[in-house]
A and B are shown apart, each in its own frame.
Chain A
Amino acid sequence: MTSYQPVHESSEFESFDELYEVSEQEGLDVQTLTPRQMAWHRFRRHKAAMISTVIFGILLVMVVLAPVFSRYGVNEAVFPISEGPNQFLEPQSVAWFGTDDIGRDIYSRLLYGIRTSIFIGVATGIIAVIIGTFVGSLAGLRGGRLDDIMMRVTDVFLAFPFLVAVIVVREFLGGVTFLEPVIGDKSSIRFVIVLLALFAWMGVARLVRSQVLSLKEREFIEASRAVGASERRIIVSHLIPNSIGPILVALTLVIIAAIVAESTLAFFGFGPQPGSGSTSLGNLVLLSRGGATQGNWWLVVFPCGALVLLAIVINFIGDGLRDAFDPKMDTGR
């Protein structure tokens, strides 16, 4: 796509005839924007979202290439204890963000930890969105009993205090031994993804359902029905493409909610314990418990700061996406 700077806008002209006439005279191309391009333009106008995307992009590169950007291995002490005390060191040249209880570099561990947590967030998001979109569109399209049941069930589930419900479900899933080969052990990353996705799909389903309900009334759905389109085709070719906006926004919300939830669970000891010394953001944030009361401020500031930064950045991106897909934001560009 060649980049271009708009010279004139359609609103400047009396008629399309004049628009084309003037363009010819001035040797310009006339371009009509596709909805996707318009959405991109609107996103670009949301400055905070753009900045956030850049920040998130940089962060993503750094954590995916963690071995490149980190200074030590994830389970490696900054220097062996034989050379001197290495626990709870304040931030200094050998450890930019200080060290933890066994002398490991917080900065490096943070990179690896954020990587794990982003992975958890994205995986949860994708699963939740797939399930939620499927169920939500079916419920919205068919209505009737299925819809009623789904709404009732999700109503009750979502009304429960989140952490209580998550912990109960966690123990329950962990106790159902025959599921273990599929979803993994209670402390595994796989398990926490399944657990969080189990809660997240409901919000997505309700959102997709309300989108479908409003789209259902539109004539193009009636038209495709009249032509004989099957239900699956209507969902896949019409309803979902027109709901991309809200679905994308929901995806970002689920991602950040999952990351925060993972941290929260870890805070109380219910989080994932990735093996062989590797870590998650939640586990690092767990350090802030002791850190706060013992005055080791770097154990609080850096992990929590990273979490807050992630939260704000992803939230802004979600906000930008919301604006991008909201037709009411159009001023005629």
Chain B
Amino acid sequence: MSETKATVLSLRDLRVEFDTPNGPVQAVRGVDLDLAPGEILGVVGESGSGKSVTFLGMLGLLPKSAQVTGSATVNSTELVGAPTKTMRSVRGKQVSMIFQDPLSALNPVHRVGDQIVEMIREHQSVSKKSAWATSVDLLGTVGIPQPSERAYQYPHQFSGGMRQRVMIAMAIANDPQVLIADEPTTALDVTVQAQILEVIDRLRAEMGMAVVMITHDLGVIARIADRVQVMYAGRAVEKTDVDRLFSDPTHPYTEGLLRSIPLLGHQRLLPIPGSPPNMLRPPSGCAFRPRCPYALDACAGEIPDLEQIGDAESACIRAHELTLGVLA
């Protein structure tokens, strides 16, 4: 792993534990991550894998019952355990986040233009007029037609795709270095999905912004990601390039994901047997063990760390011996 690459976001052993009435739940059990400027990192996983919680926890956006430990640095500013003032100066300025459902993520009673203005004026001291003009510009940049009129409208007056563009416009208002996109296309039609991804990609190129694309959809990953991190049960189980992910997976879970995609020519869908683990009492050792067709007794031992396998990293202790991949 190159240490000399400039990293704009770094996570080290990030852990998130929730205090629930049924006991402590470890939603994130040690995640490491490095993000370079201008790169798009895809974070893939099922619901409950901890992919969103990792980044919500990093930004301090989780409820009080959540405890975040480890380290998360943005341009050498440590976020874990940082005072609120520091967090607030990072949120919306150095790191922006967009969410899955833009209809519920935008305040329905404030005009769209005003919501962007709020973002701008939180971090820059400019006049309302100037901020409004900027927000109109931003709406234009993300491809919303007639931005000066539409800025006066309310969220419900936009279509789903347009709403997500509004969220993106709001997120990039202060020229952030990192954009965390939490399943931004999940709630949208397929055709609109492509448009949104295109907007994000273009902005990334124009602004040099790094993007974390959280999704469960491998199609999105294929379209836009540079590198990919696969998460399962609160840990990363594979880290690799996007191409290699599809051609040469190094973890049985990744293989399982690939196999469950319907492909032309295949007769049957092969879902992964079993269900995701109960994070109140996760399995010992490798969390994927109960569902893994290659599991050995040794897998129930210590929780495996990521090991280098060629140019990828894998958390499977049998990665060297197994040849994984989607059968032709």
Contact = CB atoms under 8 A, between A and B. Distances in A.
Q: Do A and B come from one complex?
A: yes
Interface of A: 9, 11-15, 331-332
A9 B290 CA distance: 21
Interface stretch (B80-88, B124-132, B198-206, B274-282): B274-282
Contacts, number: 21
Nearest to A16: B275
B22 A9 contact: yes
Contacts of A11: 22, 278, 280
Nearest to B22: A11
Contact of A14 (B21, B22, B277): B277
Nearest to B281: A14
B37 interface: no
B22 A332 contact: yes
Given A11-B278, A15-B275, A331-B22, 14 more contacts: A9-B22, A12-B280, A12-B281, A13-B278, A13-B281, A14-B277, A14-B281, A14-B283, A14-B290, A15-B274, A15-B278, A15-B290, A331-B21, A332-B22
A130 B322 CA distance: 69
A12 B279 CA distance: 10
B24 to A, nearest CB: 13
Contacts of A12: 22, 280-281
Contacts of A9: 22
Contacts of A331: 21-22
Contacts of B21: 331
Contacts of A14: 277-278, 281, 283, 290
Contacts of B22: 9, 11-12, 331-332
20 contacts: A9-B22, A11-B22, A11-B280, A12-B22, A12-B280, A12-B281, A13-B278, A13-B281, A14-B277, A14-B278, A14-B281, A14-B283, A14-B290, A15-B274, A15-B275, A15-B278, A15-B290, A331-B21, A331-B22, A332-B22
Interface SS of chain B: loop
Interface string B2-14: 0000000000000
A20 to B, nearest CB: 15
A331 B22 CA distance: 9
Interface of B: 21-22, 274-275, 277-278, 280-281, 283, 290
Contacts of B290: 14-15
A102 B283 CA distance: 79
Contacts of B283: 14
A16 to B, nearest CB: 10
Contacts of A13: 278, 281
A238 to B, nearest CB: 28
A243 B43 CA distance: 42
A11 B280 CA distance: 8
A12 B281 CA distance: 7
Contacts of B275: 15
7 closest cross-chain pairs (CB), A and B: A11-B22, A14-B278, A331-B21, A11-B280, A14-B281, A14-B277, A14-B283
A245 B324 CA distance: 53
A281 B122 CA distance: 61
Contacts of B277: 14
A332 B21 CA distance: 10
A183 B240 CA distance: 82
A193 B42 CA distance: 67
A15 B274 CA distance: 9
A167 B277 CA distance: 64
Candidate in A12, A14, A331 with the most chain B CB atoms within 10 angstroms: A14
Contacts of A332: 22
A12 B22 CA distance: 8
A10 to B, nearest CB: 10
A62 B308 CA distance: 79
